[in-house]
């Protein structure tokens, strides 16, 4: 196959590698990440050079890629089909090879269950990572600390509720000096809040939207994370737990005490309306969102623009 250019004097044959790289990069920019990894880098040396341009690889968005899995009763509570793992392995090898270490933002789908090998391979090849969205940790919790050790520039993390949260935030505090944003997709327990106060007291942005949250935990966060500028509790299932034998109850309106404690924040985002569809979804799911039941892109939303996808 030949590339032709028409001039006044006639037809001049040119090679594909004579195409302008800046034009190629502009064209490749309009392709999806899956199209960019489908073989265009193998056309010729010039196309490969364009396909590796850092401008194309600032963000690796895999938020549309899902695992083929089933839930199981034992850890890690999911079984991922081998073909699904193999497909992800092949894709990561191509994409991370083309990116040449220039990825700064990496997004995974909430139903994409990466393995320990996937995470280790990715961490080693994304040393400049600043933002990570990884809602499913079932298979990687034990190696996440090692990955954090490699991400010195990490600033923002979207993650699920996990058992080993104190160790994680301690690793972030030790290795990620610029870390400032955290989004937790799942119940936010008291020990989560204590760990943040202990290890990440300078955290600036925290989103707990669509999660279960105790009123006492919210007050603890407001009292002790004094550097916090933005707190999002929109659509949370806010629970008040009085001393036994009194039952827990759902808080449907923020009281004066909470509003006063939140007054130092730049933005305090809250919605607990009985007429709000998202609030209703959180209550129906008892504070543990079953995102698979809803519109595909709903889990990507956030009232904090820097945390939305």
pLDDT digits (tens, 9 = 90+) for 155-172: 999 999 887 899 999 999
* Residue 246: predicted pLDDT: 82
Question: What band does 242 get if pLDDT is binned at 50, 70 and 90?
Answer: confident
Contacts of 60 (CB under 8 A, 6+ apart): 33, 95, 96, 99, 103, 105, 106, 107, 126
Inter-residue long-range contacts of 143-146, CB under 8 Å, 24+ positions, other chains counted: 143/116, 143/119, 144/119, 144/168, 145/171, 146/120
* Residue 209: predicted pLDDT: 97
* Residue 1: predicted pLDDT: 43
pLDDT at 66 over 60: yes
* Residue 235: predicted pLDDT: 97
pLDDT digits (tens, 9 = 90+) for 7-29: 555 555 667 677 889 999 999 99
* Residue 13: predicted pLDDT: 63
pLDDT at 185 over 80: yes
Contacts of 155 (CB under 8 A, 6+ apart): 130, 131, 176, 178, 179, 180, 181
């Amino acid at each position: 196959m030949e590339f032709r250019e028409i001039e006044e004097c006639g037809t001049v044959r040119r090679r594909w590698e004579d195409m302008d790289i800046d034009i190629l990069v502009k064209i490749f920019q309009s392709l999806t990440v899956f199209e960019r990894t489908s073989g265009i880098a193998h056309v010729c040396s010039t196309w490969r050079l364009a396909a590796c341009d850092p401008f194309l690889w600032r963000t690796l968005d895999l938020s549309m890629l899902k695992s083929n899995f089933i839930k199981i009763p034992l850890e890690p509570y999911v079984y991922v089909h081998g073909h699904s793992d193999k497909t992800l392995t092949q894709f990561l090898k191509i994409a991370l090879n083309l990116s040449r270490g220039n990825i700064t933002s990496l997004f995974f789908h909430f139903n994409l269950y990466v393995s320990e090998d996937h995470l280790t391979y990715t961490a080693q090849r994304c040393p400049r990572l600043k933002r990570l969205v990884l809602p499913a940790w079932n298979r990687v919790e034990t190696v996440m600390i090692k990955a954090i050790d490699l991400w010195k520039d990490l600033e923002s993390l979207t993650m699920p509720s996990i058992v080993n949260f104190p160790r994680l935030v301690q690793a972030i505090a030790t290795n990620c000096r610029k870390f400032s944003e955290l989004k937790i997709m799942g119940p936010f327990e008291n020990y989560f809040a204590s760990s943040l106060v202990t290890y990440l007291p300078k955290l600036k942005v925290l989103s707990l939207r669509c999660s279960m949250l105790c009123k006492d935990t919210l007050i603890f966060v407001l009292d002790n994370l004094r550097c916090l500028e933005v707190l999002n509790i929109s659509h949370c299932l806010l629970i008040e737990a009085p001393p036994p034998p009194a039952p827990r109850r759902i808080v449907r309106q923020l009281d004066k005490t909470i509003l006063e404690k939140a007054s130092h924040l730049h933005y305090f985002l809250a919605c607990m309306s009985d007429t709000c569809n998202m609030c209703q979804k959180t209550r129906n799911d008892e504070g543990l969102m079953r995102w698979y039941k809803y519109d595909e892109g709903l889990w990507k939303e956030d009232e904090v623009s820097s945390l939305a996808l």
